[in-house]
Structure 1
């Protein structure tokens, strides 16, 4: 994305606050005028003080008046600066709040395949770090660049007003400063982009390895992991040094140029003072304005420095906001009262990557209220079918119908509200037990949470916890056993009262005793609901109304447990193999 277009898009976020920015610019313009007036007061005061023709008694009154005026300007400048800063920071935080919300909202709307290809650490960097970098664009770059530019113009006008010859000389220095600035721009933008890239890489690494630290320690991979981190850290360090080197060369060049220019201005002014062409007060004012001339240029360099960081962050943020979502929600809403949950796959083809089909011409029908299980070797396409029903991915050929309607016609929110899914790997959020069951849904009451927990026998262990349903849950539910986390996920699914249940290896992490306890609850949950299961344990699937056998993405067999055993085909072989290795009991 071109920097110009990027800045235009970022400025659009500031548009709703245009009135506040007008006030900020008014304060800024007034503050600039105050700052420009101070050297003039000094000039008048000094000329009055050194005037030998005026009696000392007559000087006292005007000098006091000029001192009070100068003090008044200092106080006014302080008040204007504080007001401008506070207002600017408030507006900046509101804009960043909006951008951060938009980015997170976009992340939530993206399909599963986006998360398959993008690391969590990178997304965290976009929402947290990069949005904060943009804050400097609104609180520093936009206003300060205009402020320094206005002050620069004002200083030039004052220099020409006091001494045209000096003003012309200072103006001739500007092209030299522009050359320095363009060279700085070329190297700085490359350095900033490199730094942002390595920062993201570091966040990705830390996010993955801190979450997987248990695995690292189990296999004693601390040192190799540290060496990898050290390599990324070194790259980030070198990129940071490039930024520092770029700026450390540019800033001294400006300083040396400014000091040489001020020295020449003093020489030129002094010769005119000696010749009687310039007053001492005017010389002091010229020296002050000449020094102030380079201050805005240095500050503009800082602003440009900040701008490059904001542009680099903005590019990454808009890469998310511009991400196209190929899973487009339909408009049809599901009427729960008449929803039957009949599921039909018609000649479905699907691939995660083009040319690598996972499902090949799969067709089947699941009648309302049926309990259907999918079995097959790893990679056969079982879990993929479950993901397609909820439209976490879209097929490229064929049709998936629910109650005779193509699922692409349904609103995604409406469709998923009718699907309760229990996965093998349960994710629990930081909070408490009840919050991990209702997930912030205000329509789910405490009574519903408790009844759902009792139905799946989660209430038994919850009541033994110190604070029961208010028991704190740490990230990932680390303080709970695997079986307890699984039971909470059952309660979560039941509390939402869906018409379709999807159980993906839902009992794989529960011991045989616990599974026997919840087996009755599972069948109770399934009453009147269409249930789809993927499991290896025979106890979970043998009472299914229909068992569908998949092999390498193709539907090979279909029937009840007993019918498939009589066939002596793939299912029979899987069953015998599972008995041998006690995978299925």
Structure 2
């Protein structure tokens, strides 16, 4: 019947097209699900990390943190796509084929089931080995990113001191180790395919021998033996996929442990259950008996107490390691103190939401922090979380700030003006220019308190005078806390806090401290040929 033949052909084509369409949407669904999962984990992990104390970032190399957000989470994607999905699909296929084979000849199926313990033992040994390989690959990936991060951030240092070749050799060694483990993993997969293929051939030949004898004895028909052989032939492809997928399980588990160890082993800075805001936003700062010690037991603060009234310029002075930067970090809750309390406008900072607390501050950092953005983007970086002015209003405000900071002439000389890119390292700009950009950013943010960490460090005398002039003239209505390794009498601070080995050695007005603090006079005399004598009373 030609009509029936045509329908059979068309039906076969229709089945193929339906299978292709279903397979396409199956892959799309699985990939979408796995990528949604990866995106969600990365988003939540990144937000969680942004709430961790500063010590977390100080104690972990940037390359290692990047590896957790990239390589480790992609291993979880592999786990979903290869193990969970493939094992589920192939397990159903294997089960159906075993049922069909049992219906055809249960005796032969029972005999072949004796191979099951050997297959399970092989899978367990394969998984243990792949767990070790996955762990080594995770470690090597961490090391690669760590070396790259260090090399790129210290490229100038490596070039000056000739460490580039040595670092290149170290990088090559790690790459070779990574290559070794990846080749081993590929060879294991290839060996697995060969072993499954050999097992399939042996079982098929044994089944053919058994089926032939059953045909001769009249126990089975040709069709039954053929159907049984087809079931076996179809069984080994999903079995091979299943074994391969279980090997991927270990890589996924390593990724899960790596990612979720962050949640298990770290504690974010606690947000208050019932946050409080000061009634008035004036900028008063008060430290009351604050103690802090780093985990290594080095440095910190001991019973620090002082007060900065709204609109005052308070200079916090002391030698390196005295605890000056720690003090500012505690004020912004980048760390939490061990004892004592810090108050902003009469409210304990632990009772304020972190976002509300940090909205109080503009910061001029010692290392001149900048982001990969334009000059305009850097100036208004502190306002990015708010609904700030539009681009035209921003540019107008930036021009006014640039005039106040005496930077407009320099910015006008740049090819793209305020659209000129500023790298994270500030390459291509002088220290004085970068410091003035940092001061522009501090002035652009509507914050009542300005924190300045060594604002004149590494500046020449001319640039230092310019920066101090800007501080004195353009932050008059704000509370300004300035930390410095030496006194800055030309700044005319309203109050001076002298730190020594983490404790307040003295505090008061500049003139009073000269009279009663030998240590302050010693700091003041640094850089001069003759020490400053104590006043004659």
- 2:443–2:475 CA contact under 8 A, matched in 1: no
Counterpart of 1:555 (choices 504, 518, 526) is 504
CA distance in 1, matches of 2:180, 2:450: 53
CA distance in 1, matches of 2:217, 2:11: 31
- In the TM superposition, what are the counterparts of 1:464-475 in structure 2 within 5 Å? 464-475=413-424
Which is worse superposed, 283-292 or 490-499? 283-292
- 2:73–2:259 CA contact under 8 A, matched in 1: yes
Map of 1:443 onto structure 2: 387
Map of 2:97 onto structure 1: 155
Counterpart of 1:291 (choices 216, 220, 233) is 233
Counterpart of 1:484 (choices 429, 433, 452) is 433
Map of 2:534 onto structure 1: none
Unaligned runs of 5+ in 1: 1-57
- 1:458–1:491 CA contact under 8 A, matched in 2: no
- 2:496–2:508 CA contact under 8 A, matched in 1: yes
- 2:489–2:510 CA contact under 8 A, matched in 1: no
Counterpart of 1:98 (choices 40, 46, 49) is 40
Secondary structure of the residue aligned to 1:362 is strand
Structure 1, residues 400-421: CA drift from partner, whole Å, max 9, x if none?
Answer: 2222222111111111101111
Secondary structure of the residue aligned to 2:294 is strand
Shift of 1:552: 1.1
For the pair 1:351 / 2:293, whether they are aligned, the reply is: yes
Map of 1:494 onto structure 2: 443
Structure 1, residues 126-166: CA drift from partner, whole Å, max 9, x if none?
Answer: 11222222222333322221110000011112212333344
Change beyond 3 A, Cα 1:541–1:91: farther
CA distance in 2, matches of 1:102, 1:518: 40
Which is worse superposed, 153-162 or 210-219? 153-162
CA distance in 1, matches of 2:399, 2:223: 84
For the pair 1:332 / 2:281, whether they are aligned, the reply is: no
- 2:158–2:164 CA contact under 8 A, matched in 1: yes
Shift of 1:373: 0.8
CA distance in 2, matches of 1:459, 1:266: 89
For the pair 1:227 / 2:169, whether they are aligned, the reply is: yes
CA distance in 1, matches of 2:108, 2:467: 91
- 1:344–1:364 CA contact under 8 A, matched in 2: yes
Unaligned runs of 5+ in 2: 532-537
Counterpart of 1:504 (choices 449, 453, 457) is 453
Shift of 1:488: 1.7
Structure 1, residues 172-226: CA drift from partner, whole Å, max 9, x if none?
Answer: 3222211211111222112211221221122112211221121111111123323
Secondary structure of the residue aligned to 1:579 is coil
Shift of 1:303: 1.3
Which is worse superposed, 337-346 or 124-133? 337-346
Shift of 1:518: 3.9
Secondary structure of the residue aligned to 2:369 is coil
Shift of 1:504: 0.4
CA distance in 1, matches of 2:12, 2:217: 30
Secondary structure of the residue aligned to 2:86 is helix
Shift of 1:78: 1.4
Structure 1, residues 8-60: CA drift from partner, whole Å, max 9, x if none?
Answer: xxxxxxxxxxxxxxxxxxxxxxxxxxxxxxxxxxxxxxxxxxxxxxxxxx7x7
CA distance in 1, matches of 2:473, 2:221: 100
- 1:344–1:400 CA contact under 8 A, matched in 2: yes
Map of 2:463 onto structure 1: 514
CA distance in 1, matches of 2:195, 2:209: 21
Which is worse superposed, 322-331 or 310-319? 322-331
- 1:374–1:533 CA contact under 8 A, matched in 2: yes
Please give the root-mean-square deviation of Cα atoms over the aligned residues, in Å: 2.5
Shift of 1:125: 0.9
Map of 2:52 onto structure 1: 110
- 2:123–2:246 CA contact under 8 A, matched in 1: no
CA distance in 2, matches of 1:140, 1:343: 56
Shift of 1:527: 1.2
Structure 1, residues 518-555: CA drift from partner, whole Å, max 9, x if none?
Answer: 43321233212111111246557641111221111121
Shift of 1:319: 1.5
Which is worse superposed, 183-192 or 271-280? 271-280
Map of 1:543 onto structure 2: 492
- 1:187–1:246 CA contact under 8 A, matched in 2: no
TM-score by length of 2: 0.90
For the pair 1:576 / 2:525, whether they are aligned, the reply is: yes
- 1:444–1:495 CA contact under 8 A, matched in 2: no
CA distance in 2, matches of 1:528, 1:103: 39
Change beyond 3 A, Cα 1:468–1:357: closer
